[in-house]
Amino acid sequence: MTNQSEGTFCLVLHSHLPWLAHHGSWPVGEEWLYQAWAHSYLPVVDLVRRLADEGRHDVLTLGVTPVLAAQLDDPYCLRTFHQWLGHWQLRALQASTLWRGDPLLRDLGAAEYRAAVRAAESFETVWRHGFSPILRSLVDSSAIELIGGPLTHPFQPLLDPRLRSFALRAGLDDSELRVGHRPAGIWAPECGYAPGMEDGYAAAGVRRFLVDGPSLRGETHAARTVGSSDVVCFGRDLEVTYRVWSPKSGYPGHATYRDFHTWAHEVGLKPSRVTGRQVAPPDKAPYDPALAADTLRLHVKDFVDTVVTRLRALRQRHGRESLVVAAYDTELFGHWWHEGPAWLEGVLRALPEAGVRVTTLGGALDAGHLGAPVELPASSWGSGKDWRVWDGEQVADMVQSNAGLQRRLLALPPQGGAGDRVRDLAVSEAMLALSSDWAFMVTKDSAADYARRRARLHTERFDRLAALLGERDMPESRVPASPHHLDSFQAEDSPFGHLDARALHVPR
């Protein structure tokens, strides 16, 4: 390892899926959860645990949304994921038989079976009590910094400030309950920001959050306090981050990597390599792990060289050691990009050897990477870096529906005394309806029908529960829920057993 520090690098991973349990299976229901769990969460956690066992600290900053944590702890999800892992082994065995005439595909089937067995063994030992005990051990050992977020990943700029405060505080409460630590930072859903939100963060005890690089006009070499607050924002360095994944390019699209979109539906596995952007699925070449491994080594080196070059340029420009923050969805690594976990390991091992300090967001502040205060514009990490994905023309009806839902939710009169099951369920349904995922999926035309159906379902359930409470300002078409419906709604849509509707009306 070199003696001189080139600067500081922070890897931030944002782990999030909407509530999927009990809401369909294929292709965007529970199957989405189980694929991400098997191919991203298991291997990424395994990597961090191995580095921690080697004595590494502050390996990365891990964002886990409360709604995802709830699924990874949920008894139903744990049971059905275990069954899914067994089915994965059976599918891999079947593939080995069907593909025995092609050496590459036969070996792929065998490798898939071994991966399925390893995943099941990890799940049955390390994960048998859910994710929270694992996460707590990684936080306790300082292997990672945990950052949280609002309950169900709502797009905060479009929330009434009272509801924004409730969702954030309840989300932080949930993380503290599961892990024993209250996160000091959050990944703001979709990196969505509206001027003044830092004051709400300060009131909730949030000390740092993520924005996209353009929000800082590309000046991401240091963290910045926002406005007149002490709350700090970190910006994604897009010059570095986009080497891996951008709206148009990135490593996962290389011809030798495993193709995400091409399925052998008879066994439910992905047998092909990317081959070429214009190559039709039937014409794609079989996946060759050896070719992919050769490419991966080049991409690890390319990324490390990119980080070092960037840090040297920033040092020359600013006259001091600088910071690079690369931030991605965790699900990119393994689920979307098969080789992603191996790439992560290569980079996290190679960067220190190249003289780069690898640490967390908190570690970057400890290292002195804090610049001058900044005024942030309204922004996000979505298309255009504004709010168009979540409040654009394609989702105007959803925005209107969500605004009405918020008004009806906040109009529920305060309750006194003991908690109220109906009100708690009503708040849960409203929060699920307000997930940012639904508008994103509609705008991007990714399972848009499913997204619209989910948003409508949760809104209707809220209204039926509110009608049961005797509220008059409800759509006339909503029939009050019955006791049977209460049990059904609670079984399907109760990720947060501690949620207390009374907190909606607690002054903050």
State the DSSP code for 480: P
The vertex-392 CA angle with 391 and 398, nearest 5°, equals 55
pLDDT at 24 over 60: yes
What tens digit of pLDDT does each residue of 415-455 get? 766 568 889 999 999 999 999 999 999 999 999 999 999 99
Segment 371-388 shows an average pLDDT of: 97
* For residue 476, pLDDT beyond 70: no
Superfamily in which the 389-505 domain is placed by CATH: Families 57/38 glycoside transferase, middle domain (1.20.1430.10)
CATH number assigned to the domain with residue range 7-72+131-254+295-366, chosen from the 4 options 3.90.1170.20, 3.30.70.940, 3.40.50.2300, 3.20.110.10: 3.20.110.10
Q: What is the distance between the alpha carbons of residues 335 and 32, in angstroms, rounded to a whole number?
A: 9
Confidence (pLDDT) at 486: 86
Marked catalytic residue, from 145, 329, 463, 493 = 329
Q: What is the SS3 assignment for 226?
A: strand
Q: What is the DSSP string of 279-313?
A: --GGGPPBP-HHHHHHHHHHHHHHHHHHHHHHHHH
pLDDT score of 408 more than 70: yes
Q: Which of 58, 74, 190, 321 is catalytic?
A: 190
Q: What is the pLDDT of residues 80-127, one digit of tens each?
A: 999 999 999 999 999 999 999 999 999 999 999 999 999 999 999 999
Read off φ and ψ for residue 281, nearest 5 degrees: -50, -45
179-195 mean pLDDT: 97
What average pLDDT does the chain have? Answer: 94
What confidence tens digit (pLDDT) does each residue in 143-159 have? Answer: 999 999 999 999 999 99
For the segment 240-292, what is each residue's pLDDT rounded down to a tens digit?
999 999 888 899 999 999 999 999 999 999 999 999 989 999 999 999 999 99
* pLDDT value of position 1: 43
Q: Give the separation between CA 434 and CA 287, rounded to whole angstroms.
A: 40
Going by pLDDT thresholds of 50, 70 and 90, the confidence category of residue 467 is: confident
User: By three-state DSSP, how is residue 9 classified?
Assistant: strand
Mean pLDDT of 61-65: 98
Q: Do residues 471 and 440 touch, judged by C-beta distance below 8 A?
A: no
- Tell me what pLDDT residue 29 has: 96
In sequence order, what are the residues at sequence separation of 6 or more whose Cβ sits closer than 8 angstroms to the Cβ of residue 476?
A: none
pLDDT class of 4 with cuts at 50, 70, 90: low
The pLDDT > 70 percentage for the chain reads 96
CB 44 within 8 A of CB 268: no
Nearest to 154 by CA among 65, 73, 84, 72: 65
Say which residues have a Cβ less than 8 Å from residue 344's Cβ, sequence separation at least 6: 11, 44, 47, 333
- Do 143 and 52 form a contact (C-beta atoms < 8 A)? yes
Q: Active-site residue 30, yes or no?
A: no
Mean pLDDT of 22-49: 96
pLDDT reading at 325 higher than 90:
yes
Are 438 and 398 in contact, with CB atoms under 8 Å apart? Answer: yes
Our CA dihedral for 249, 250, 251, 254, rounded to 10 degrees, sits at 0
Give the number of other CB atoms < 10 A from CB of residue 308.
18
Per-residue confidence (pLDDT) for residue 366, from 0 to 100: 98
In this prediction, residue 2 has a pLDDT band, given cuts at 50, 70 and 90, of very low
Spatial distance between the Cα atoms of 311 and 6, rounded to a whole number of angstroms? 6
- Give me the sign of the Cα torsion angle 279, 283, 289, 290: negative
In this structure, are residues 224 and 200 in contact, taking their beta carbons and an 8 Å threshold?
no
190 is catalytic: yes
* Domain range annotation of the chain: 7-72+131-254+295-366, 389-505
Identify whether the C-beta of residue 105 lies closer than 8 Å to the C-beta of residue 99.
yes
Q: Is the pLDDT of residue 492 over 60?
A: yes
